[in-house]
Amino acid sequence: MKKVQKIVALLMAVGVISSCYADSYADGKKALDAKMYSKSVEAFTKACSENNFKGCYELGKMYENGTGVAQNKYEAGTLYAQACRGGEALGCSNMALSYDAP
């Protein structure tokens, strides 16, 4: 019985962690759609730090375009590379395109 309780507790913890993981990215998208840029930068930064590589990609786009942050193509490339290493295909393509831009 104790083994079942441990398994249930572990599954609940994983569920809480994964819901937090998804929330940062989702919060960032909602804030971006509402043009609440500082909030979206904060949420995407958190998502990226939690290895949500879509968050890294979105934050990279914000740095590339100067949306809510000072435009910084180097930072954008760094974030795209991080997203790419995490398997985010759009991060890979944007990273490759950033090498071609002056």
Q: Which H/E stretch holds residue 62? A: helix 53-65
What are 18-67's pLDDT values in tens digits? 444 458 999 999 999 999 999 999 999 999 999 999 999 999 999 999 99
Is 1.25.40.10 the CATH classification of the domain at 2-100?
Answer: yes
Q: Are 53 and 69 in contact (CB under 8 A)?
A: no
Q: Are 24 and 46 in contact (CB under 8 A)?
A: yes
What are 65-78's pLDDT values in tens digits? 999 999 999 999 99
